[in-house]
């Protein structure tokens, strides 16, 4: 939660990738997200194409936090056109699971610095993920 709050103060956009819709929903409903819940956007495999287009644009707004399922780590083109976001350090991507393949992890990391823009990436795992 500190990383998400910090992102809002720094006016960076944050994309948080989850392994499944169930895990995304679990986090969305958790007490840790209570203060931000009303401002967070979500994208799952059930998001319509029209909704997806709008949510992808909104995900690149400074201070936005978007929770996504792993499907959006590939083939979703998050483009940043906002100089404020670029000046603040670009997009920060959080991956909350260990990828099944290196190519998936590489694709998710690639959501950060699109087309030469700056950005950052980190992986945040539960203890049981490491066992």
The reported pTM is: 0.85
**Is the per-residue pLDDT at 129 higher than 70?**
no
Using alpha carbons only, give the angle 72, 29, 71 rounded to the nearest 5 degrees.
10
φ, ψ of residue 84 to 5 degrees: the values are: -65, -40
Structure confidence by residue, pLDDT tens digits, 69-127:
999 888 888 888 888 888 888 889 899 998 888 888 888 887 776 667 788 888 888 77
pLDDT tens sequence across 49-62: 999 999 999 999 99
Q: Which tens digits make up the pLDDT trace of 29-54?
A: 999 898 888 899 999 999 999 999 99
User: Distances from the Cα of 96 to the Cαs of 57, 67, 82, 108, in angstroms?
Assistant: 22, 10, 26, 11
Q: How far apart are CA 24 and CA 44, in angstroms?
A: 9
SS3 of 30-63: the string is: CHHHCCCHHHCEEECCCCCHHHHHHHHHHCCCCC
């Amino acid at each position: 939660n500190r990383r998400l709050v910090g992102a809002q103060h720094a006016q960076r956009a944050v994309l948080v990738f989850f392994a499944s819709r169930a895990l995304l929903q679990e986090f969305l409903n958790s007490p840790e997200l209570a203060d931000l819940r009303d401002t967070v956007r979500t994208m799952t495999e059930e998001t319509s194409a029209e909704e997806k287009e709008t949510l992808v644009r909104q995900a690149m707004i400074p201070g936005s936090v978007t929770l996504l399922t792993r499907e959006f780590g590939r083939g979703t083109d998050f483009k940043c056109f906002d100089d404020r976001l670029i000046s603040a350090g670009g997009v920060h991507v959080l991956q909350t699971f260990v990828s099944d393949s290196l190519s998936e992890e590489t694709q998710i990391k690639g959501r950060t610095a699109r087309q030469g823009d700056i950005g950052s990436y980190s992986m945040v795992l539960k203890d049981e993920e490491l066992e």
